[in-house]
Amino acid sequence: AKSDDDTDGITICELSAHRKVTVRSFKGKVFVDIREFYNKDGKELPGKKGISLSIDQWEVLRDNIEEIDRAVKESD
Amino acid sequence: AKSDDDTDGITICELSAHRKVTVRSFKGKVFVDIREFYNKDGKELPGKKGISLSIDQWEVLRDNIEEIDRAVKESD
């Protein structure tokens, strides 16, 4: 459902103890955020390290998963 | 092939005009870097905005592609 409300988003997965992939809405647009979080007063807050992808950008990443995976395996 | 040489890595895809996914080796380890670049004197240099994923972290992201995609479509 479309919404103009900003949201903290939903956490899809944790890449490590402090890195998460979240999907969130901001000004009516959806972003995939791959980001490091830090703990402050018991709250997990988003840090500077990370990148927020628009849907278009996410789709390019998604469509290149296999090619990235191949490059990772060839580089290892 | 394993190598201890640092490399600029290979660009797998461009998410936008200045955002790229690269796979690179650093101190013998492979990283997937999702990052913004900027132009300086005709060279594309990596900027601060982005995140460099270890192989373990990359594999978690890869294994959650469908779930992320579903959340994006439900949020849109």
Nearest CA in chain B to A65: B62
pLDDT digits (tens, 9 = 90+) for B20-63: 999 999 899 999 999 999 999 999 899 999 999 999 999 999 99
- The answer to whether the Cβ–Cβ distance between A13 and B57 falls below 8 Å is no
ipTM confidence: 0.88
Chosen from B3, B19, B56, B61 to mutate, greatest number of chain A CBs within 10 A: B61
Q: Measure CB to CB from residue A12 to each of B50, B71, B76 and give the nearest one.
A: B71
pLDDT digits (tens, 9 = 90+) for A36-62: 999 999 998 999 999 999 999 999 999
**Structure-block tokens of residue B15:** 């998410």
Residue B5 DSSP symbol: S
pTM for this predicted structure: 0.89
Print the SS3 string covering chain A: CCCCCCCCCEEEEEEECCEEEEEEEECCEEEEEEEEEEEECCEEEEEEEEEEEEHHHHHHHHHCHHHHHHHHHHHC
